[in-house]
Chains A and B, each alone.
Chain A
Amino acid sequence: MKKKWYDWLWVASLAYLTLGFFNILFAWLGLLCFFIPLIIAAVKGTKGYCNRYCGRGQLFSLLGGRFGLSRKRDIPRWMKSKPFRYGFLIFFFAMFFLMLWNTYLVFAGARDLQQVVTLLWTFKLPWHWAYHGALFHPGVAQFAFGFYSVMLTSTVLGLVTMALFKPRSWCVYCPMGTMTQLICKIKNPQ
Chain B
Amino acid sequence: MTVLRKKRKAFVSQHDCVACGCCVKVCPMDAITIFHGLYAQVHRDKCVGCGKCAKECPASVIELQEVTI
CA distance A165 to B21 in the complex (A): 17
CB distance from B60 to the nearest CB of A (A): 4
Given contacts A41-B37, A45-B37, A185-B38, contact A51 B59 (CB under 8 A): no
- How many residue pairs between the two chains, A and B, have CB atoms under 8 Å in the bound complex? 79
CA distance A184 to B17 in the complex (A): 13
CB distance from A128 to the nearest CB of B (A): 36
Are A166 and B60 interface neighbours, CB within 8 A? yes
Are A167 and B58 interface neighbours, CB within 8 A? yes
CB-contacts of A145-189 with B (<8 A): 165-172, 177-178, 180-181, 183-185, 187-188
* Chain A interface bracket (under 10, 10 to 19, 20 to 34, 35 or more): 20 to 34
Are A47 and B37 interface neighbours, CB within 8 A? yes
Are B56 and A181 interface neighbours, CB within 8 A? no
Are A172 and B24 interface neighbours, CB within 8 A? no
Interface residues of B (CB under 8 A from A): 16, 18-22, 24-25, 28, 34, 36-38, 55-61
Interface residues of A (CB under 8 A from B): 1, 41, 45-48, 50-52, 57, 61, 72, 74-75, 80, 85, 165-172, 177-178, 180-181, 183-185, 187-188, 190
